Each structure stands twice: as C-alpha cells, then as structure tokens.
Amino acid sequence: MTKIYTIIAFLLVAVQSFGQNSLQQKAEALAGGEVFCNAAVGIKVTTGGGDILAEHNSRKMFTPASNMKLISTGVALHSLGADYRFRTQIAYDGHISDGVLHGNLYIVGGADPVTGSKDTVATALTETFKGWEKVLRAAGIGAIEGHIVGDGRWLDGMMEEPTWLWEDVGTYYGSGVSGLNFYENMISFNANVRFSDNKAGLELNQTYPQTSWMDIRKECTVGEKSSGDRLYMYTSDLAPVAVIRGTYGIDRGKKRVDFSNKFPEYTCAVYFKNYLAQRGITCTGGAADFKLKREWMPAKALADSLPEGIGTDGDSLKIIGCTLSPSLARIVRKTNYESNNLCAETLLRTLGKELKGKSSYEIARLAMNDIINSMGMSSRQSEGIRIQDGSGLSRQNLISPDFMCGFLAAMMDSPCFEDYLWSLPYPGGDGSLSYNMKEYDPSLRRRIRVKSGSMNGVRCYSGYILPADFHLPPDGSSPEAFGQIPQQVKDRIIIFSIMTNNCTSPTWKVRPELDKFMGELAGDH
C-alpha cells in the first residue's frame, strides 16, 4: 500500500512538473519568436499559492504603459476602501440678506473625476446641478451679487506629471487632474472633410463644452488617404490659448475628436451659472476660478479688471452642502475597463492628499510607495521599480513582471480583492480589450481578468486567470456577485505578467502572439 501511495505522489509531481516545463517552453518560444526578435520581453507566471510556473527576464525593468493602472487602482482600493467617495461642496463668503448672497458662491471640488462626465457611472450633469441648486435654495439664496467660483484648490501641484510628452498633454488622455474636474477635463469637436470645387477642406467644430472665452486656433489640414486622425492640441493652464495642429485623413469620415481642457474649474462655474440663470437665480459677477494662486478671469485676451474679493482661504468659507461621487469601486472599474488616465491620476493624487495632506506628484508617490511597502511584498520585488504617475502615460515608469505578479498576489490578500477583480475586463468583452481573443470560446475568455498597456513600442498584459471550475457571475453583476473567494480557490488562480518593450513589429502581428499565450495559460489551467 505504501508503494502505491508513493507511486501516486510521484505521478502527481511529474504531471505538475510537466505542466510547468510546458509553460516555460511556451514562454521561451514567445520571447524568442520572430515577432519579438528585436524587442525586450519579460514574463512571469505563478499560482496564487506561490508556485512559479514560468518566467523569462522577470526581474528586468520595463515601461508598463497602462499596466500602471493595476497598481494605482489596487493601492487606492486597499487604502481608501471600496466605499470611498469624493465630495464636492457648495460654500460661500460674505452674507445672505433678503434672499440675496452678497458675496461669492464656491463650487469646492474634492477631485471627483466624473463630475459632468457623460459616462453611465456618473450622475447626469442636470441632476448634479439640481442638487447644488437645492442646497442654495435651502440656504435662502435666490440671487448672487458676486461670482460663482470654480474652486479646484483641494489638489495642489501641477495638473500633469512633468515627464509626460508635450504632444500628449493636449490630448484627452493627457488632460491632467484638478480639484474640480468637469466633463473628464475634455473639449469635444466634430471633425469632417468637406469638398468644394473638388478641393477637400477640414471642418472642425467645437461641440461641448463651449469655451468662447478660450482662443483656440486651428492650424490643421486634410491628410492623405488612410492616414487617420493625427490631430493634436497644444495647450497649458498658463493662459486660455490653444492651437490644434496635424492632419485628418481624407477618407476618415465624420468623427468626434476630444482634446484637453486645462480650465475645468472655470468651465464648471460657467455652466452652473448658466443653469442657475435658467432657473431664475441671477449672478451679477459671472464665473471665476483660481489659477497660479491668484484671482484670474479667463478671456480671449486677459482681462484688465479681475474679479475682486475672490481668494478667501478655503477653511474660512461657509459650507452649506455637498454631493458625493459614485463609490470608489465603480470609479476603479471605469478606470480599468476604459483605461481612463484622468481617473488613474486622480486616484494617485488623492492618496497623497488623504494620507499626507498634500497632493503634488512628489508627495503622492511617497504615499503610494508607503502603502506598497506595507502590503507584504518582498524588498527584492520592489527593488529598482520607479512609479512616476498613476496612469502609465510617463515613459519613466519602470516595473518588472516579478514586481507586478507580487503586487497582484498581495492584492489577493486585500479586503477589496473581489472589487479589484470585478474592475478588470476580459478579452473580447467590453472595454479596452474588446478586440482581443475574439476567436476563443467565451467560457475561456471570461476567466481571464487582465489589464492591457500599450504605447509606441510597448505592449503589456498582466492579471489573473480563474480556475475552470470557478463560478463566474454574469456580465454586469456587482462585485458582491463574486462572493468571498475561498483561500483554496485563490491558491489555484494563475497570476501572470507579460511585458514587451522596444518592439517594432506592427500591432496586427503582436496582439495575436500575446493572445495565443494568454489562451494557452487559460487552456492549461
């Protein structure tokens, strides 16, 4: 009988070893294949129980692109909690007499990244404004003899991380973060090619929000066939001026194009002022905001007369009400499903504000590193990593597959793991992975919960593969539908990270290779 048990144990070990060797061979084949012959490739595959199934250059550092969002969203959930909510407060200075506010009304932002967003996760803007109006009327305010001020001072420091590329700063994905965000800090245009006398001309019309106080210059032209959308806006928050340059393909058709709005605070104040006017609440002073620590009234040319009386210390304002954002769990899901940079940067900056009282990138990075160091990862895994931003837009981020797998394993011990898992898309489903693995069986694809990361020369995938016998809740379910995942199930979850840098092969060649590897990981599991 003892011999039989010994033989069975030997066979089990042999089967496991064969599986590991098979995965290792597949990892080596991927890294050494023709598609990645001139690229740097790093791979690590482990189980939740700690067994290493495959690795290749796993301790080398790579630019992770949007794989950084796995870290910023995970740390935010772990430290702030899934039910954390951003607060937007309504306040005033001066005094209220006979239904008139003799002073300024303030929209005091708390960094809610979805205020005014048209995303389904956000409260509709009209409903948000109704809530603020209700606060005013409850305080006895029926008219304002002063300004409506968009106050984004809750976050200090620059809107953008300084190492971002200049051409990215004016794009919708490089808009940067304010204490008072609005419409995801974007400006939308309709682009279309019109023909007149057999000549093609580019029509670029601003649709929303309207920013007549900005000087937006258009120095863009029609591009060649199949050249696509190569329009870039160049702008900053130093002055209300922007220029759109580049080309728009002659065969592109009508399309919405989005750029960065560096003045979300003022834009929000303008739109709320207009809403109140329609509701019979007048404002004599118009909209205003804070920029560069001084009063500033944006205009096509900087105004000679600036709003007076604005600049009250935020602590001395009279708070009369507030509204709350959706839960952090829902915002994290939006972040990872859409690969939303604004949300990711907001999470990083909020960590600095909540944990250290300041929100500059320097302070926020310290806060994030403190949390990571408290999550039980080994010093070896964290050695040499560089966290520059929250979204992965900076090319100075450096992460290894070894660190990423260690972090994903640490998140499995977090009280918010189920919320974290719920936030990750699967290949071929909704979100940023909708084009991946379309030819694979849905039952296999849905077990892969992964975040992608891509920029020029960079393609990364990191995440989890759930066991084949794991009961997956239907798409659209809440995180509670996952239930509390037992430890014995967590031990069988596969954790993986694949990072490629400096790859010159086209996307149509790269994606199928990485899809195939993820499919093999899930198929062998």
CATH number for 183? 3.50.80.20
Q: Which of 292, 309, 325 is the last residue of a domain?
A: 325
Percent of the chain, pLDDT > 90?
Answer: 84
Q: What is the pLDDT of residue 215?
A: 94
Which 8-state DSSP code applies to residue 171?
A: B
Name the strands in the sheet holding 143-144, side by side, starting at the edge strand that comes first in the sequence. Answer: 95-97, 100-102, 143-144, 282-283
Residue that finishes a domain, picked among 259, 293, 325: 325
CATH number at residue 451: 3.40.710.10
CB-based contact 258:283 (threshold 8 Å): no
Q: Is residue 23 part of a domain?
A: no
- Answer yes or no: do 334 and 221 share one domain: no
Give dist(CA 113, CA 177) in Å, integer.
8
> pLDDT value at position 315?
65
Whole-number percent of the chain with pLDDT over 70: 91
Residues 198 and 246 reside in one and the same domain: yes
Question: Is it the case that residue 508 has pLDDT exceeding 70?
Answer: yes
Inform me whether the pLDDT recorded for 19 exceeds 80: no
d(CA 148, CA 141): 13
Residue 20 — pLDDT band, cuts 50, 70, 90?
low
Q: 3-class DSSP state for residue 203?
A: strand
Residue 43 and residue 141 share a domain: no
Of residues 72 and 316, more confidently modeled: 72
Looking at the structure, tell me whether residues 79 and 90 fall in a common domain: no
Residue 295 has pLDDT above 60, yes or no: no
Distances (CA, A) of 363 to 102, 156, 349, 517: 38, 10, 8, 38
Tell me if 13 is assigned to some domain.
no
Chain Cα centroid distance, residue 455? 15
> Of 274, 292, 325, which residue sits at a domain end?
325
| Structural domain includes residue 9 | no
Confidence class for position 306, pLDDT limits 50, 70, 90: very low
Task: Identify whether 11 is part of a domain.
Answer: no
Judge if 311 and 449 occupy the same domain. Answer: no
Q: How many angstroms separate the Cα of 19 from the Cα of each of 44, 299, 350?
A: 15, 66, 43
- 320 with 336, same domain: the answer is no
* H helix intervals, 394-468: 401-411, 417-422, 442-445
Q: Is the pLDDT of residue 474 over 50?
A: yes
pLDDT in tens, 248-293: 999 999 999 999 999 999 999 999 999 999 999 999 999 999 873 3
Higher pLDDT, 311 or 42: 42
Q: Backbone dihedral region of 296: left (phi > 0), alpha (psi from -120 to 50 degrees) or beta?
A: beta
* 62-76, 149-163, 290-304, 312-326: least confident range: 290-304
- Tokens found for residue 140: 């006895």
Q: Number of helices (H) and strands (E) in the chain: give both, helices first.
A: 14, 21
Same domain, yes or no: 309 and 335? no
CA dihedral (90, 92, 95, 100) positive or negative: negative
Same domain, 142 and 250: yes
Cis geometry, peptide bond prior to residue 506 (ω within 30 degrees of 0): no
| Strand order through the sheet with 448-455 | 52-56, 40-47, 494-501, 458-465, 448-455
Residues 321 and 268 in one domain: yes
- Residues of the domain holding 421: 28-83+329-523
CB burial of residue 401 (10 Å; 0-12, 13-18, 19+): buried
Mean pLDDT of the chain: 92
- 69 in a structural domain: yes
* pLDDT the model gives residue 6: 46
Q: What is the rounded distance in angstroms from the CA atom of residue 520 to the CA atom of residue 243?
A: 47
pLDDT-based confidence at 336, cuts 50/70/90? very high
Same-domain pairing of 75 and 160: no
Position 14 scores a pLDDT of 42
Nearest to 510 by CA among 464, 454, 462, 465: 454
Q: Is residue 10 part of a domain?
A: no
Note the pLDDT tens digit of each residue in 394-439.
999 999 999 999 999 999 999 999 999 999 999 999 999 999 999 9
Domain assignment of residue 270, yes or no: yes
Name the burial class of residue 254, with classes exposed (0-12), middle (13-18) and buried (19+) by CB atoms within 10 angstroms of its CB.
exposed
Is 281 contained in some domain? yes
Inform me whether the pLDDT recorded for 3 exceeds 60: no
Q: ∠ CA 473-478-480 to the nearest 5 degrees?
A: 80
Q: What is the mean pLDDT of residues 349-367?
A: 97
Check if the beta carbon of residue 298 is closer than 8 Å to that of residue 263: yes
How many domains does the structure of the chain reveal? 2
On whether the CB atoms of residues 366 and 352 are closer than 8 A, the answer is yes
Which region among 466-470, 481-485, 506-510 has the lowest average model confidence (pLDDT)? 481-485
CB-based burial of residue 463 (10 Å sphere; 0-12 exposed, 13-18 middle, 19+ buried)?
A: buried
418 and 299 assigned to the same domain: no
State whether 321 and 334 are in the same domain.
no
Are 260 and 170 in contact by the 8 Å Cβ rule? The answer is yes
Answer yes or no: is pLDDT of 1 > 80.
no
